């Protein structure tokens, strides 16, 4: 028998049981859409975080995160190591910023003025200044643009030269706003959100908030990118009390994490596929029972076992392919409109060709497997008993 004839016969069968077939198709559509969106969201997160990581870690940057104290002498040692261009120490603390009636919890970072341009990703710090001057000495502070301006009400919250209060856990101080910093798009180097943070001179920071003069983080910029791994090993030897890692490491770790997140998301939404598989199994089993006499007739007409089996498989395939096709269209449509708001952006599911292939082939495979048993049952029916079946 010709392949088209199998499918045309199968299609007649699908049409005959419209209600059940439509139910199965809807189930498949939902399962396909759920799986594709879950994986697509995972994929979008992965892409976004990769991008963030890439921005936070240039290829020439090594992060040194202390597990114990990281002191000035550690910084000096690292600065003198081979292939190290410079070492940027960073300290930060959460405080309550009060400017008139405006109050906001913010991070205040202590940093040397000459290194701030590096955090901001500019050649000259002037480029990163929205307003005022980058004069980071004494009690002068620079504040991010999101703190200085309310974009909703379009009102200024903080003026240049204004005195503001920084209220720490055990220390409160007055500081003077000397400049407004532009926001870098998304979290930048060291994951510092420049648009909504406060920067002050590191010595002032130490005397106000960190009497023991230890650092939270050091960023090492290397001269030769190709020797990053080697430099990491040397730093580890000299600064054993710190985690030392690079972009490659971070991406690897993140990749492992995202893989398990996606497998988890896939498994949870894959339950839908399992349920549609059961539904197809059920539908096809009922189908075989209802068509017992018909199967007897077909056998009398000369249909072979495998031809009967293929007829039922074709029927499951017709239902599945209709469901998968509708599902794929719905997925591609929804991917344009739905999204999860995060970090001020809308994260839209990223439907890669791999995801599309996976969510189309998996239901087809699942439903073929689900149909094998009932189809086999049909194939091995005794023709005469089938013809007598009431």
Partner 1 sequence: MSSIINVVNVTKVYKMGEAEVWALKGVSLEVADREFIAIVGPSGSGKSTLLYVIGGLIRPTSGKVYINGVDITTMNDDKLSEFRHENIGFVFQMYHLIPRMTALKNVMLPLKLRGLSGREARRRALEALKLVGLEHRANHRPTQLSGGEQQRVAIARAIVTEPKIILADEPTGNVDRKSALQIMDLFTRLNRELGVTIVMVTHNLELVRYCRKAARLLDGRIVRIYTSSEYRKLAEDMTRGV
Q: Which residues of this chain interact with partner 1, rule CB under 8 A?
A: 1-2, 5, 9, 12-13, 15-16, 293-294, 296-305, 307, 383-384, 387
Smallest separation (angstroms) from partner 1 to the CB of 17: 9
Smallest separation (angstroms) from partner 1 to the CB of 291: 9
Cβ–Cβ < 8 Å for 133, 178: yes
Smallest separation (angstroms) from partner 1 to the CB of 306: 8
Q: Which residue's CB is nearer to partner 1, number 286 or number 300? A: 300
With 0-12 CB in 10 A as exposed, 13-18 as middle and 19+ as buried, what is 206? middle
Q: Which residue's CB is nearer to partner 1, number 182 or number 305? A: 305
Long-range contacts of 353-360 (CB under 8 A, 24+ apart): 355/36, 355/39, 355/40, 355/43, 356/36, 356/328, 356/331, 358/35, 358/39, 359/32, 359/35, 359/36, 359/39, 359/324, 359/327, 359/328, 359/331, 360/32, 360/324, 360/327, 360/328
Q: Which residue's CB is nearer to partner 1, number 79 or number 292? A: 292
* Alpha-carbon gap, residue 40 to 334, rounded angstroms: 11
Written as six digits, the tokens of 43 are 């994929």
Smallest separation (angstroms) from partner 1 to the CB of 276: 24
Cβ–Cβ < 8 Å for 185, 136: no
Smallest separation (angstroms) from partner 1 to the CB of 286: 15
Closest CA to 194 of 124, 107, 85: 107
Q: Which residue's CB is nearer to partner 1, number 17 or number 236? A: 17
Q: Which residue's CB is nearer to partner 1, number 4 or number 337? A: 4
Smallest separation (angstroms) from partner 1 to the CB of 297: 5
Smallest separation (angstroms) from partner 1 to the CB of 15: 7
Q: Which residue's CB is nearer to partner 1, number 301 or number 337? A: 301
Cβ–Cβ < 8 Å for 221, 59: no
* Paired sense of beta strands 102-110 and 197-200, if any: parallel
Q: Which residue's CB is nearer to partner 1, number 52 or number 307? A: 307
Smallest separation (angstroms) from partner 1 to the CB of 303: 6
* Alpha-carbon gap, residue 109 to 90, rounded angstroms: 7
Rg (CA), the chain: 32
Cβ–Cβ < 8 Å for 137, 201: yes
Strand, helix or coil at 64?
Answer: strand
Q: Which residue's CB is nearer to partner 1, number 248 or number 306? A: 306
Cβ–Cβ < 8 Å for 128, 254: no
């Amino acid at each position: 028998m010709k392949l088209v004839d199998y499918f045309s016969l199968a299609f007649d069968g699908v049409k005959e049981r419209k209600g059940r077939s439509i139910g199965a198709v809807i189930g498949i559509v939902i399962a396909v859409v759920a799986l594709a969106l879950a994986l697509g969201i995972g994929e979008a997160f992965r892409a976004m975080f990769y991008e963030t990581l890439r921005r936070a870690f240039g290829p020439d940057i090594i992060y040194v995160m202390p597990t114990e104290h990281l002191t000035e002498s550690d910084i000096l040692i690292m600065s003198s190591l081979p292939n190290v261009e410079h070492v940027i120490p960073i300290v930060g603390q959460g405080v309550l910023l009060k400017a008139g009636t405006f109050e906001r919890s913010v991070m205040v970072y202590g940093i040397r003025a000459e290194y701030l341009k590096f955090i901001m990703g500019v050649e000259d710090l002037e480029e990163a200044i929205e307003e005022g001057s980058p004069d980071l000495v004494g009690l002068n502070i620079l504040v991010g643009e999101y703190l200085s301006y309310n974009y909703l009400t379009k009102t200024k919250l903080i003026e240049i030269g204004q005195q503001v209060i920084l209220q720490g856990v055990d220390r409160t101080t007055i500081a003077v706003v000397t400049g407004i910093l532009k926001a870098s798009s998304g979290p930048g180097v060291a994951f510092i959100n420049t648009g909504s943070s406060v920067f002050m001179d590191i010595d002032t920071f130490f005397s106000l908030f960190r009497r023991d003069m230890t650092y939270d983080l050091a960023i090492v910029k290397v001269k030769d990118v190709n020797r990053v791994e080697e430099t990491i090993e040397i730093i580890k030897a000299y600064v054993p009390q710190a985690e030392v890692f690079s972009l490659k490491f971070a991406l690897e770790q993140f990749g492992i994490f995202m893989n398990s997140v996606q497998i988890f998301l896939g498994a949870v939404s894959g339950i839908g596929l399992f349920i549609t598989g059961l539904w197809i199994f059920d539908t096809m089993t009922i189908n075989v029972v209802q068509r017992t006499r018909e199967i007897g007739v077909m056998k009398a007409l000369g249909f072979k076992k495998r031809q009967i089996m293929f007829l039922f498989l074709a029927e499951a395939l017709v239902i599945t392919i209709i469901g998968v096709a509708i599902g794929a269209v719905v997925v591609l449509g929804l991917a344009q409109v739905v999204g999860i708001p995060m970090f001020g952006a809308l994260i839209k599911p990223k439907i890669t060709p791999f995801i599309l292939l996976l969510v189309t082939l998996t239901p087809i495979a699942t439903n073929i497997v689900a149909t094998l048993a009932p189809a086999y049952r049909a194939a091995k029916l005794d023709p005469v008993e089938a013809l007598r079946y009431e």
